[in-house]
Amino acid sequence: MLTLVPVLSQQGDQAFFLWGLRSRAVNAPHYDLTDLAKLDNRVEAHIDGLRIAGEEGWQLCLNELSWEEPGEIFAAAVLALESGNETKIQTVLKAATKSPDLARGFISALGWLDYQVAEPYIKQLCASDEPALRRIGIAGSAIHRKDPGRVLSNAIADPDPLLRARAIRAAGELGRTDLVPTLQSELRSKDDRCRFWAAWSIALLVGYSNAVETLQTFAETAGPFRERALHVALRRMDINSAGRWQRQLAANPKSARSAVIAAGIIGDPAFVPWLIEQMSNPPLARVAGEAFTMITGVDVAYEDLDADKPEGFESGPTEDPNDDNVEMDPDDRLPWPDADLIANWWEQHNAEFPPGIRHIVGKPITEEWLKQVLRTGRQRQRVGAALELAIMQRDQPLFEVRAPGFRQLQALSGAG
């Protein structure tokens, strides 16, 4: 097949770029499931352009592997796995196993494919002698929420910490309460990843206090697991204990942001007046608005309760070459709340939200409402709903809100 090179190159560039966009979108505050499905359809359309180009499409992906980016790994892996060509698959795997970040692209490709297509490759990877390949296989199985069986328990005992940590995480994602006794010893692991994921999985699966306390320690310490720890620990605490911890976080300036997020996770309307106070503090204003929405369900922008960005306030990377801050703004795409307008709104509506009862996106937490939030909520709200449902439904897998949108829509169309 003869394909116009510029057109094919554009298909590839768009596939790589859109994969990167969707990897951020799954945790973005402004994406809902419909938005994610539309984005994923665009990714699939460009992957399809590479498929149609046949060998030319594969050669383009092969050449792009030299950039060592996970988006390029993803596209090449989809084509290689669909082809069934072992040489192509091994070529992409060699590139993917150079680092855990690059492996994300291959894992994502396994998750992108229908399970019937991915299953033989997942089983082959899980049976490998190489820890890096077994980790990819277990991650691919976990994304599809398919239990790999004995492979999982064996990996939890493996000396390789990256493999062990991914297997421990998968135990929680898959609802494997039978593995909790095995996970308990990992609460004493010297490896932060293994210790965190053991606490996360145990707390999610059965709510043991030692796991919750370990998560609290992670949440009170700066690091990559801080926010994840908050999300599970608070949901496993009774509302009074959670409230006391939130106030302790709020008393420490270093954990002020965590305290705001915690208020939204707990969902007690009693926190709303305090959140409104935080909206006058620019570094906390937008995340306080998000927490307010998490409790009340009120869309700040849609209800015209937003304000302009404060003059002179900067967050995230700037164009100043002397600025060492290269971290992305975690609140990008969140509206700026107008504290006065929201205070007026709350004065008129607070009677609709009884204090002392946990809410999520405007209603008390029930199984039926959580399933509705999974259908219609924004991604960060859907993360919370999935965790709440997993806690309610013991032994059931955690709903995967990062799966391809078209697959999630299909799964949820028959839920509840």
Angle at 213 between CA 207 and CA 216, to 5 degrees: 110
Q: Could you tell me if residue 122 is inside a domain?
A: yes
Segment 288-347, tens digit of pLDDT = 999 999 999 999 999 999 999 999 898 765 444 544 444 789 999 999 999 999 999 999
Number of helices (H) and strands (E), helices first, in the chain?
A: 22, 4
Q: In sequence order, which residues have a C-beta less than 8 Å from that of residue 398 and are 6 or more positions away?
A: 145, 172, 173, 174, 175, 204, 386, 387, 389, 390
> What is the C-alpha R_g of the chain?
22
Extract the residue ranges of the chain whose pLDDT is less than 70: 1-5, 316-326, 415-416
Q: Which two three-digit tokens encode residue 39?
A: 């984005």
> Is there a domain that residue 91 lies in?
yes
DSSP code at position 310? P
pLDDT score for 112: 98
Report pLDDT for 314.
85
Q: Which two tokens stand for residue 377?
A: 């909520």
Tokens of 197: 């994921």
pLDDT at 315: 79
In tens, the pLDDT along 358-393 reads: 999 999 999 999 999 999 999 999 999 999 999 999
pTM: 0.95
Residue 240 lies in a domain: no
Task: Tell me if residue 360 falls in helix, strand or coil.
Answer: strand
* Any domain includes 18: yes
Looking at residue 416, its pLDDT comes to 53
Structural domain for 98, as ranges: 1-145
Q: Which two tokens stand for residue 363?
A: 């209603």
Q: According to the model, what pLDDT value does residue 218 have?
A: 98
Measure Cα distances from 401 to 9, 25, 144, 213, 326 in Å. Answer: 31, 11, 11, 26, 28
How many domains are contained in the chain?
A: 1
Any domain includes 107: yes
**Residue 100 located in a structural domain:** yes
pLDDT at 256: 98
Does a structural domain hold residue 86? yes
- Cα distance between residue 306 and residue 297, in whole Å: 15
The answer as to whether 357 is a domain residue is no
